[in-house]
Amino acid sequence: MLSKREQDPQTAVHFRSDRVSRVNGMYFFSTRENTLEGPFFSKEDAERETEAYIRRMQGSKASQSEPPSSSLNG
């Protein structure tokens, strides 16, 4: 997959991999920020939480780009 993320200086090839891994019988998912989130009891739980994490990160990014609202003059 040839793409360029916003923070990348130039176009590069990025390979998708399974974000969920099993360690000592528990499930974890890895993030782009190189963190390992978990543990979760099942792969399905880890996958669901992966999606929730992505939504939180996208929501956080969107709210950071909005100008702050001020109620001082209102």
pTM assigned to the model = 0.63
Tell me what the mean pLDDT of segment 38-48 comes to: 96
**Total residues belonging to the chain:** 74
| 31 belongs to a structural domain | yes
Where is average pLDDT lowest: 40-44, 55-59, 64-68?
A: 64-68
| 28 belongs to a structural domain | yes
Residue 40 lies in domain: 19-64
| pLDDT top residue among 48 and 4 | 48
Under the phi-then-psi rule, with left for phi > 0, alpha for psi from -120 to 50, and beta for the rest, what region is 24?
A: left
| 54 belongs to a structural domain | yes
| 69 belongs to a structural domain | no
| 72 belongs to a structural domain | no
| 8 belongs to a structural domain | no
Where is average pLDDT lowest: 34-38, 46-50, 63-67?
A: 63-67
| 47 belongs to a structural domain | yes
The single-letter code of the amino acid at 66 is: E
- Answer whether residue 22 shows pLDDT above 90: yes
For residue 40, the surrounding DSSP H or E stretch is: strand 36-40
| 11 belongs to a structural domain | no
What is the spatial distance between Cα 10 and Cα 42, in angstroms, rounded to a whole number?
38
